[in-house]
Chain A
């Protein structure tokens, strides 16, 4: 969830709770106030009526001083005191032609010798109306406030976090492969400046470490070639001096191990050079010719394993690459397909406008498929397996192509989408 979405969501949820509680509370308070007002008005009036009665000792005038409906009924004698009785009711209103809510207050008074029940009414219509309107206005105000604060919130948050997002973007664009990064812009927020500072220190350290490692490996690959040459050549010379089988076996082991080391260094050097962008030529590649050339290279190897070739080159993909890298890519894939094949197996190659697919029979790699592309992944009996595929993956990523590996029913399949 995005930072702004999350804060907004929190804000809205909390606001709604507050508004709901506040709204209900306010309504209750208003209701209460108005009810009290109505009641006290009713009591005032009834006391006024009592006053009238006690002064005039007659009910004659009572009807006339009432501005609102009043009922006076003669009742049987009752014992004192008669409690006041409040009641909500409806009365028919001729003007409006409808029943209207009223609150009535009734009691029994004694006028002369007779007892009369006096019931006075107060219309609730105005107070209900008032509550309704006030509630509506409050609701509208709240909604308006909510909308306003929502936008304000977003705006302010956006403003406040802008520097953060800028730093984030800078970090997202950061890549060790092309460390020409934008500097962090100073922010008015102290915490963001501190964050930027920490990030800057970390990336600086990363870059310098990475450069150091790159330089180290570059030098290593270069410097190691001469001693390797010396070991190889001296072993070749040693071969000429040896006589016993045991001596030859020992020297042979030295020679093949040196060759192997030389191959590993060669591959690692290649990976480092791709990283360093040393393959920058851009030429359209004739993949069909490239595939045929590399298949020819491995023909003897395939024949010695009796591997059946199924070649289906349908179209020529239009891909611009460094020709050396394209060659290395195809070479490594075909090599991989031949090398990890089984006797009397098959190698299937399919090339379309947008895809290169190579599949071969082979034993279960006994590895999670995503491990296969890592350097120095230990394969079964074949020694280093991953380095060739690590090169493939490096090239594929270098040109932002896609690669997919599948193993199903003793069949390895690698698919590259250009």
Chain B
């Protein structure tokens, strides 16, 4: 999988690359419009991550460029919090998804995976993590071929864990994933714990060793090994 990350801030670039590389992606970097345009004309990417605010232009033009060239790359845009118009325009121009700064890397990772799955498998894929098999497009999961009853939130939670398997995930990222960024968690994550408790219980009932490790003060780590 080949990704292009268009982001002018070097630190953010590095963070994204650091997080995504272990997933097996080939990450190419562009720090401005000109080099990004060069790259999208010369190469093909599976997914392009575009920051709308670039020093020498708007990422929106890049989206149009990609669409004009009939490139099949998935497009995820990164926008500033108050740039609602940019967000709407980006989606109109053909972006597949958007993230608002400041975002979580775990969230970005999950979005990229979900987007790549959508593009490549056209709704017929499955993800396997140990004994767990997930059918993202049907919102279903199976344990050793046996279907497991999950609520929508539990399913999303499982998906997010599996997408970030082996990683330490902040409870804030989980909460943001399940309830959206607009919800204020007032620094109480009781209802996140409640969801995790339910998911754990259901997995345990299916005879799975608890794959969710609690990391005190931080969040969780999902590991099926």
Contact = CB atoms under 8 A, between A and B. Distances in A.
B56 interface: no
Interface residues of A, number: 46
B184 A335 contact: yes
A222 B80 contact: yes
B150 interface: no
Nearest to B109: A236
B191 interface: yes
A301 B104 CA distance: 22
Given A226-B12, A339-B186, A249 B103 contact: no
B9 A226 contact: yes
A263 B184 contact: yes
A324 B215 contact: no
B39 interface: no
B225 interface: no
B223 interface: no
Contact of A237 (B15, B80, B101): B15
A300 B153 contact: yes
A303 B18 CA distance: 38
Interface stretch (A19-27, A103-111, A159-167, A250-258): A250-258
Interface string B175-191: 00011101110111011
Interface stretch (B28-36, B40-48, B166-174, B200-208): B166-174
Interface in B72-101: 80-82, 84, 101
A233 B16 contact: yes
Interface in B1-36: 9, 11-12, 15-16, 18-19
A232 B12 CA distance: 10
Contact of A255 (B80, B172, B178, B186): B172
Interface in A238-272: 239-240, 242, 245, 248-249, 251-253, 255-256, 259-260, 262-263, 266, 269
A242 B81 contact: no
A242 B82 contact: no
Contacts of A252: 170, 215-219
Given A226-B9, A233-B19, A297-B183, A259 B194 contact: no
Contacts of B180: 297
A5 interface: no
Contact of A230 (B12, B179, B183, B217): B12
B145 interface: no
Contact of B9 (A230, A278, A305): A230
Contacts of A253: 217
Nearest to B179: A297
Nearest to B15: A233
Contacts of B102: 225, 228-229, 232-233, 262
B168 A301 contact: no
B187 A260 contact: yes
B105 interface: yes
Contacts of A79: none
Contacts of A251: 218
Contact of B101 (A226, A256, A259): A226
Contacts of A235: 170
B191 A300 contact: yes
Interface string B45-84: 0000000000000000000000000000000000011101
Nearest to B84: A324
A331 B181 CA distance: 12
B106 interface: yes
Contact of B167 (A240, A249, A273): A240
B187 A255 contact: no
A234 interface: yes
B195 interface: yes
B215 A248 contact: yes
A304 interface: yes
Contacts of A248: 168, 215-218
A300 B217 contact: no
A331 B15 contact: no
Contacts of B11: 226, 230, 233-234
B28 to A, nearest CB: 19
Contact of B105 (A226, A233, A304, A324): A233
A339 to B, nearest CB: 5
B49 to A, nearest CB: 13
A121 to B, nearest CB: 106
Contacts of A236: 15, 19, 104-106, 168, 170, 173
A300 B194 contact: yes
B187 A239 contact: no
A255 B102 CA distance: 12
A226, A234, A303 — which one has the most chain B CB atoms within 10 A of its CB?
A226
A383 interface: yes
Interface of A: 221-222, 225-226, 228-230, 232-237, 239-240, 242, 245, 248-249, 251-253, 255-256, 259-260, 262-263, 266, 269, 273, 278, 297-298, 300-301, 303-305, 324, 331, 335, 339, 382-383, 388
